[in-house]
Each structure stands twice: as structure tokens, then as C-alpha cells.
Amino acid sequence: MKLQLLEKKDLTETEIDIRYSSMTQPLNRIVQYIRQQEYLIQGIFEKKLYQIPLNEVLYFETVDKKTFMYTQHKIFECKKTLSAIEQDLIRSNVVRISKTALLNISCLVCVKPYPNHRLL
């Protein structure tokens, strides 16, 4: 794979061109990762509606029949169910890790074994 980066000061929007002879699995993952960078999810914080970029979301969790979206600094309530979010993000780096949680694996730094066969 050959990678070329070209800076153009006069561009108003970033352009990404990918040339390939056949779509491979690794290339498809790269394309999906790029696409998810501009995906926005609505979240509510202090009765205000925000558009949160998916790449800022660490994980989603359902607690007491409410869905929450966690970023590094804030917790937003999300009106969608966990199943609906999972369906919307099926081609992203967001994966179900339990019955009540979805994880953005792009944000995962490490996994540590925890007692009772759990992970931290």
C-alpha cells in the first residue's frame, strides 16, 4: 500500500481519494473509519440538544431504560435505544460488549483482566 499526503492551503474541505484494484477487508475498514469521523449523534445535556461527533464518543450505556453516551468530559442522554444505535453504527468501530453497553473500539487503549473473569 502506498500512502501519499499532499497539503493544499486553498482547499475549503478536506478531500480523500482512495485508488484500488479490489476492495479488500483492511481497505474497507479504513473507509468505514474515515466515514465515521463525520457521523454525528444527537445527545442531550442540561436540557440542550447537541450534535456529538462519533469519534468523540467513548461508549454508550443503558441504565434504568435510558441510554447514555459518554465522552471524555460529559455524559449525554440519547433518545435512541441501544439496539437502534447499534443498527445505525453497524459499519463503524462501535461494537456491543454487553447487553447494556456499546464500545467505540477506536477509543480503547488497553484491556486489563479483572476478578471474576471480567475486564477493566
* 27 within domain boundaries: no
* 45 within domain boundaries: yes
* 60 within domain boundaries: yes
* 24 within domain boundaries: no
Q: Is the pTM of this model over 0.75?
A: no
* 120, burial (CB in 10 Å: exposed 0-12, middle 13-18, buried 19+): exposed
Residue 119: per-residue pLDDT = 74
pLDDT tens digits for the chain (120 residues)?
888 888 999 989 888 889 999 999 888 888 877 887 778 999 999 999 999 999 899 999 999 999 999 999 999 999 999 999 999 888 788 999 989 999 998 888 888 888 877 777
* 66 within domain boundaries: yes
In the β-sheet with 66-70, what is the strand arrangement from edge to edge? 48-53, 40-45, 75-78, 66-70, 59-63, 101-104, 94-98
CATH number at residue 88: 2.40.50.40
What phi-psi label fits residue 116: left (phi over 0), alpha (psi between -120 and 50 degrees) or beta?
A: left
- DSSP letter assigned to residue 88: H
Residue 90: per-residue pLDDT = 83
Domain count, the chain: 1
* 10 within domain boundaries: no
Residue 60: per-residue pLDDT = 95
* 28 within domain boundaries: no
